[in-house]
Amino acid sequence: MSGTLVVGYDGRDGGEAALDEAIRMGRELDCRLVLVFAYEPAARAGGEVADLRATLKEMGAELEVSAHERLAQAGIEHELILIDSRPAPGLAQVAEERDARMVIVGGAGEAPLKGALLGATPHKLLNLTDRPVLVVRTGE
């Protein structure tokens, strides 16, 4: 084993693309994978947050369990993490703690305008971590 790759996995197209690439790279570089799902709701102020957070966490657990089956079949050593945070800071934190060689995230699903106005996860991540970030786009 020569290190750890942290993967942002949310079950969306971008997350799947990131996972596919991470599996490939994990094999080639002989790294273990750490899958991260961040479940903090976008807006903190706005009434009932606790149950939304619980629902998102449940959703993340289901997604990670299905990814776990794939990774187990592929025979890749891995760890599954649910983190009470927004995606970008959560990924940055886990990458730091696991001393990751690289953070892998999906880049699709973030429309350019939305990304520019409101901040897309890969973009924010670049500002939050000093580790290499690999952004994987989904097929056109």
Partner 1 sequence: MADPAVIVEEQDKGLKKDLGFFSTLIIGLNSTAPAYSLAAVLAGIVVAVGLEAPASLIVSFIPMFLIAASFYYMNRADPDCGTTFTWVTRALGPWAGWIAGWAVTMTGILVIGSLADVAALYTYSLFGLDGLYGSVIAVTGLAVLFIILTTALCVIGTEIAANFQTVLSAFQIGGLLLLAGVGLAKAIAGDVPASPVEIGSTQVSLTNPTIELSWFLPWEIGSTTALTAGLLIGVFIYWGWESSLSLNEENEDSNASGRAGIASTVLLVFTYVLVGTALVAYAGLDAFAAADRQGIESAIFDDLATPILGSPLDKLVLIAVLTSALASTQTTILPGARTTLSMAFHKAFPDRFGEVSPRYFTPAFSTIVIAVLAIAWYVPLNLFAQGSLFDSLQALSLLIAFYYAINGLSCFAFYRNEILRPGVWIPAAITLIAAAGLALAVGGIGDYYDLGGLFNALVWIGAGLAVLLLVTVLAGAQSLKSAIFIGIAPLAGAFMLGFVLIRSVLDLANPDTSSSGDVWLGVTPALVMGVGFMLVGVIAMFIWRSLHSKPYFARKLETVTSEALAKAPVAK
Under the binding rule (CB under 8 A), the answer on residue 81 touching partner 1 is yes
Asked if 138 is part of the footprint of partner 1 (rule: CB under 8 A), the reply reads no
Q: How many residues bind partner 1 (CB under 8 A)?
A: 43
Smallest gap from residue 31 Cβ to partner 1 (A): 18
CB contact burial 120-131 (16+ within 10 A = b; e otherwise) = bbbebbeebbeb
The answer to the question of residue 50 lying near partner 1 (CB under 8 A) is: yes
d(CA 35, CA 48): 28
Minimum gap (Å) between residue 130 Cβ and partner 1: 16
- How far apart, in Å, do the first and last CA atoms of the chain sit? 34
**Interface with partner 1 by CB under 8 A: which residues?**
10-12, 36, 41-56, 59, 61, 64-65, 68-69, 72, 79-85, 89-90, 93-94, 109, 114, 117-119
